[in-house]
Structure 1
Amino acid sequence: MKRPFTQVDVFTATPYLGNPLAVVLDGDELSTEEMQRFAAWTNLSETTFLLPPTTPQADYRVRIFTPETELPFAGHPTLGSCHAWLEAGGKPRTDGVVVQECGAGLVTLRLTDDGPAFHAPPLVRSGPVEEELLERIAASLGIARGDVVDAEWADNGPGWVGVLLRDAESVLALRPGRVPVDVGVAGPYPEGSPYAFEVRAFFPHRGSTVEDPVTGSLNAALGQWLLRTGRARAPYVASQGTVVGRAGRVRVFADDQGDVWVGGSVVTCVSGHVEL
């Protein structure tokens, strides 16, 4: 059966400089096994399948797959799926707001002039990082423990440890070995720069370290940490993906209640149909 399909690039307004996402716009009647097989075939970090919602509060439902497993929630697939749904003619129940149903429940997105933005999920773990683990992380990043300005658990699901270095140049210079856990590293740019931070995301996979081009969940967790501790001022833009040839731009802002939102531009690169 031919199904409408699109491939989008998230956190960029320029094709091929963000984080790609495959979206099957009609996933109805596909089995979990069929979805997982297709996600393994696309071999992107995530592939999503749009479905009718099961609750009247939601505009659509999404299932999110990596090449190996299904995820309850992920940042860039949420933004990319929202963009694809709107571009395919989706009409939100409320102007300027989209409600996505996913494995983690209902996720609210705001539609802004700079693209969709999702409400940052609550942290499931925060606070200081154990010194022994922090020393291992520093060693795996190829830096001294004293180069770490601050560090904290910033775990909103994937298990991120947030590490702050003294500046963006230090982040760009990292050449990591095998990291022991998922590590998000940030360093500030000088005052007056177009970006507040350079961000990099590293995670262990099959005995090696993988760098994610642009990471919504990490930037959500970093934003909550850095804003709470006064190391950042909202709104700000983070740059990510520079070292791997991307130019991701992540917008972080807070609402009147102090809740953090994460958004960015999304652009469609491929559209057509797939046989599924």
Structure 2
Amino acid sequence: MKLVNVYHVDAFTQDSFAGNPAGVVPDADTLTVQQMQQIANELNLPESAFLMASDHPEADFRIRYFTPTTEINFCGHATVGSTWLLATERGWLEKGRPIVFETNVGLIPVTLDVEDGQLKKVTMTQIAPSVREIELDQAEVARMVGIRPEDLDDRYPMKLASTGGLHLLVPVRTYEAIDRAVPLFPELEALNRKHQITTTHLFTWNGPQGYDVYTRDFAPAIGIPEDPVTGAANGALAGYFVLEGFLEKGSVHHLVVGQGHAIQRPGTLYVTVEMTGETPVIRVGGAAHVTIAGQLRLKAE
């Protein structure tokens, strides 16, 4: 019998049963790709992260991400969850330096924010953001995500954005309209597959009290009907804000983003957008909570 340590970490929250749950397998060197996919399917969480040794001279770990149905190139909340686990249960906090992950999209450094010896949040620097056009019938998109066409906010263009995964950004006038959304998942899945979109990300500047931006995220094409609190998509959204001119260049902007409230898994992301050079720097941070720790029992090969 082969025993594999596995954790369930709720990311972008300080509480169990909130935020976005991630599976974390910190000792995945001996696992095959098939086993990683099977474990992710068994855990049935939005994403699971598998950590292993890296050959990259600047990386501390190689990390791979799997949804229940497929491998993806980058996942923000599973990165936060992995970092929190390493810091609080694997002794990394005492090292006093960032953790650098080698991902399919490049190196992702994650800093540990500590106050009075206690870990308060972790913050990842995502790869440089990009934005591109997409020709879509906006009323059809509204119908697919389950809102009214008049709920769309025409002050902001509907575009694709990325900091590692491709996200369709859908501007909405109010957070109430976002919360009312009832997507047509088969049609949304077909649209996302056609354009190789990882998630469809609804956003508004008209959020609940305490938040600058409020979002909701659907990802049926990768086996996740709704992703509760999304680090990658909100990082891409922040890149879109600055690249499209909605945030002033030459400045540093701090945004508090809320997500997950509509499905009773509220989470908070702390996003920093820095555009003092040629390329925006996007940092996404938050807390986490290790909710379950256990072992998987695999048959010996």
- TM bucket (normalised to shorter chain) is 0.7 to 0.9
Q: Take 1:52 and 1:209, find their aligned partners in 2: how far apart are those partners?
A: 28
* Structure 2 contact 270–284 (Cα < 8 Å) conserved: yes
- Within the candidate set 256, 272, 277, 1:237 is matched to 256
State the match for 1:84 in structure 2.
85
- Within the candidate set 148, 152, 165, 1:147 is matched to 152
* Structure 1 contact 64–70 (Cα < 8 Å) conserved: yes
**Structure 2 residues not aligned, in runs of 5+:** 115-119, 193-198
* Structure 2 contact 138–149 (Cα < 8 Å) conserved: no
- CA 1:204–1:221 in structure 2 vs 1: closer, same or farther (change >3 Å)? same
Deviates most, 252-261 or 63-72: 252-261
* Structure 1 contact 168–197 (Cα < 8 Å) conserved: no
Q: Superposed, which structure 2 residues align to 1:99-178 within 5 Å?
A: 99-113=100-114, 114-124=120-130, 126-130=131-135, 132-141=136-145, 142-144=147-149, 147-149=152-154, 150=156, 151-177=158-184, 178=187
- CA 1:248–1:48 in structure 2 vs 1: closer, same or farther (change >3 Å)? same
Deviation of 1:54 after TM superposition, in Å, equals 1.6
Amino acid across the alignment from 2:215: V
- CA 1:158–1:145 in structure 2 vs 1: closer, same or farther (change >3 Å)? farther
**Structure 1 residues not aligned, in runs of 5+:** none
Deviation of 1:60 after TM superposition, in Å, equals 1.7
Work out the percentage of aligned pairs sharing the same amino acid.
Answer: 28
Deviations, residues 45-72 of structure 1 (Å, cap 9, x unaligned): 2122221222231112222222222222
CA RMSD of aligned residues (A): 2.6
Q: Take 1:231 and 1:106, find their aligned partners in 2: how far apart are those partners?
A: 27
Q: Take 1:71 and 1:123, find their aligned partners in 2: how far apart are those partners?
A: 17
- CA 1:171–1:109 in structure 2 vs 1: closer, same or farther (change >3 Å)? same
- CA 1:193–1:55 in structure 2 vs 1: closer, same or farther (change >3 Å)? same
- Secondary structure of 1:41's partner? helix
Q: Take 1:209 and 1:116, find their aligned partners in 2: how far apart are those partners?
A: 25
- CA 1:93–1:122 in structure 2 vs 1: closer, same or farther (change >3 Å)? farther
Q: Take 2:253 and 2:273, find their aligned partners in 1: how far apart are those partners?
A: 6
- Secondary structure of 1:274's partner? strand
* Structure 2 contact 73–165 (Cα < 8 Å) conserved: no
Q: Take 2:210 and 2:284, find their aligned partners in 1: how far apart are those partners?
A: 17
State TM-score, norm by structure 2: 0.81
